[in-house]
Amino acid sequence: MSSEIQPYVFDPESEEEGEMAQAQSLPGRLSMNVSEWCTCGNCARMPTEAENVCCKETPPVVRRMGDTGTPVSCMTLHSGLEPVCLNLYSLQNALNIHRADYGPLRQRTYQRRCRHLAYRSFVSWCWGYLGRKVRVIIPACVVLRSSQTQRVNMLVFGLPLAKP
Ligand SMILES: [Zn+2]
Ligand SMILES: [Zn+2]
């Protein structure tokens, strides 16, 4: 399962290397226990330093968490996450919007396209519009939830599961 989990850094389809602006990692995370940095209770150890970030330490995400009627303790408990970022039909629509703005997505497999669009929707929802070259780090708990949901979607809709 964990090999299915892909990096966190939202890349608005710019494949130029060395554009890691704004996505700075918090040093030492890989040598810490998850409980030392995660206060939402739903993050897990991620493969690279930069991915080990909790929703509760990401201000735009915390702001979004505060706009629910009842405050939630983790972004994955926000009732908007599924309909806005994970629902397959929302992703279909996001794909059409992306096509209109940028042309076809480069990712070859359906699963990779879904992942990209889920991250893209999450970023635009929490951060507002981001230009093509601005990158942000998506909290580990949200990456994990997105990956689980997409696996389920693939199974439910009989879509082929891609090798990462
Ligand atoms: Zn957390
Ligand atoms: Zn969380």
164 residues of the chain, pLDDT tens digit each: 444 555 555 555 544 333 334 456 677 899 999 999 999 999 999 998 889 999 999 999 999 999 888 889 999 999 999 999 999 889 888 888 888 888 887 777 777 888 888 988 999 899 886 656 667 899 999 999 999 988 887 776 666 655 54
The ligand with the least distance to the CA atom of 39 is 1
pTM of the entire structure? Answer: 0.79
- Domain map (residue ranges) of the chain: 2-156
* Residues flanking ion ligand 1, Cβ below 5 Å: 38, 40, 43, 54, 141
| Ligand (nearest to CA of 34) | 1
5 within 8 A of 118, measured Cβ to Cβ: no
In sequence order, the 6+-apart residues with CB closer than 8 A to the CB of 51 are 7, 8, 9, 137, 140, 143
Quickly count: other Cβ atoms within 10 Å of residue 32's Cβ: 13
